[in-house]
Chains A and B, each alone.
Chain A
């Protein structure tokens, strides 16, 4: 048993736009022995979301250091594409580009241990959410989650997600997920930052605090 690292996020996609939620902070590590030697709660405002372009967001979690390194590498490459060609990569192309890179590094001596969610809005295809894990498996999904929180939230999303959710309904669904985490999850996750992508671009919504959290 090693350190347990908890980083939670949940994401909801509707026909018109995306909402992704992730924890604003709340990283807790627990030592391997039965009696916990150290419990450190570091509520920091670490933003795990990387803006790849005006309409594409990348949420990157996993091994410390790998996340930022890989995400920034992808981010700069996507921006380079735009500078070279004058137009941006579509979310689907960006997701596949990310996947190819992750896959290539996976089969080298220096793999990146990161889990990703990529969300974007395409002019022709509309909103899209791409789930990618550290083994470079890519799937386009209506909703997705990574981490221990996924065990709890995916069932909520399964139950209440509909393809024709409105924006407010999607935010409500996200709140439901967070309530569930607050109720059932052992760790206290004080706040979640939420971003929305629609045809106008990326918008910051208000931070979600679970009721009863400190």
Chain B
């Protein structure tokens, strides 16, 4: 035969689609003698299904190398070293061959700069080992043997279900993330010949359906499909598949008509039997409830869990980011810990000393103590509203704080870990006082950020010595401070460094420190510790018990972390049982990542140096930052939702908790978005979780008079039991590792299983049928309502009020409300009477959310450009609600106006910062306009700081 070479440059698919592959082809490959940079030769065969993904992926390599496509016969051996014929094959410029579909597609993607990742590898491995064999069998039955229906679908059903499950479970439109990538193309190509026939794309696999349609509509895929199937459908594959050995015979196995029948279950018989056995034991397997103790003290031989959340600074009202980073995260873990019957103490309190309090007091004409009292109450009320389950919410301005701080200091002093030195300090002559670090602003000596604070730079995160700031300014009066000398005390961290290192070496392996906490701690040690000043020229603080230092107090970062100890001491005089008991106590400390150095290095150094057998942190749990919409929370700019305002929104605390935990910045920064909150409430809570629990309860009420019916479990039900058990165990694994956000997904997955189960079994129809149908309706209802009961307990750490409401509606027996085992038990046995069922969640409406966004996002326009460095908005969710024409007109006008302002400023050659600020406003307006019009966002050019 003669060769058909289709050279393609730049627009691979367009050319190729005009010249479809020649069916006569099948000859030798003719070398091109052209002077081009590099050339790849792709060998395909008429009707070979492997061409689909390869041709769809080929577009990725556009412009990087010339691709020549040659058509060969189905029995032709292209690769010299392979005994059996194989297509598609890609011959590279080097002469080497890639002879698997995945490898070829991967290569095209790699050429385009794509980087390999675990998830993609996993999908491709699954494709090669699971999907491909199943699909070859199905295609063989369909195309070569002319079978139909279940004979074809049978072999692939399990793989399709797995794929559908993954897509819906991860809540992601694509297999390996937000955009279409290698895994999608390869799997799409493998599945296309079968799924393009709607008969083989089962309706109930909704997520798979959507994914498949999305990909099939994309141009490269469409063209590949056209080239391979030529609009003839699957029969186009017959010439090729006929020549192939029967699938399965390669493995030396006999081919049967139901090749994978036994493998349909992903669970082993053993797993199912264990789940059923546990279920049947029911309430009987619950241990007795722990008696409530007061005070809670560690018990030898038990798991004693001490939980702290970072002490909020008293004179700031916490915003949502503060709440999720510390108290709310710790609360979920504390509640979980109690559900496990671990001996748990959860404490927090306000951090009250320091200059900021003194200044606030001056401003408001109160004493520092009065300021602290006032704001402590504000904090306490906010956390109460959020249902934070502190055992103690204390404060740092107590005699215990003085006693313990001074004791630790004395011990450090006598052991030679305190140095004395004179310090050059900034003093504002106009305000007549030494300036605390936070009252100086200037240019960061490390990164030149212009608004660095005197103690730390917000941009690069490095700690700063205030006098090293360039162009320092007094934050109060804006005059330039002068440098004056004063005597101060220092903690000799270099001398303690070795002990801290040894302790960390012992503690970190196998612990649940978050990666960012490990990283920050390690980088501090790597850079070497430096002596740190622990005193300040202030009055509002813990007095320094040393001659010559009567006018000074301890610097807050030295004594704030001691607050945990003193707060416990105010709770019980046996506080040392918690804090001087490292063998028996597991200490979990929750904070945002900026607090890691103080908890991971400085405080451990202090107490290691004090040599008094203190309890040190076992698990340091640090979150990343939560942004507001697309910027930072900012009190001064009136931007974002603050703790005291959340309750005025009319949205219940549990909904706030749910959404904040759902977007918990676990592993990476995340952003609060009003639209997303509405979507999550309406989809996950209302349509998924609430819908399931409500239906389960309503069926019991309506069909069975409020009594849980008899359950006669079929093997399907048993499999569901095992699935739920697996997901429950996953939930436990995650929460034991404090992966709070991920564990929440398990709850939603179980309720999705439940919804599907009800949907498939249709108890509302069966209840009207014969005896067998009625019994089936009973079993399904009984199992569903028990899943609802399980969910109420799993939900307890996240949404305590909703959890209690469900438990009251179901009349769940008391011990089952407060204990969560690793097995799924039947806690609502047949005959159990439930209470009145009512809906759990309310829909959030567009108008409501829009008005809230306006109310809390008011300062958005004023936001300077530089604050946006960290913003990672997800614009997709915002395009869902296009605005009305009026609003668009208004924004249009504003864009025009702002555009004029910017042009004028530029014409006047105005100050750079001023121009930048106005440009930022303009960009913001343009973005709002684009969103309002439902247009995709343009990426702003340059200015990436």
The judgment on whether A and B are partners is no
Hey, which bits of chain B sit against chain A, CB under 8 A? none
Chain A residues in the interface with B (C-beta under 8 A): none
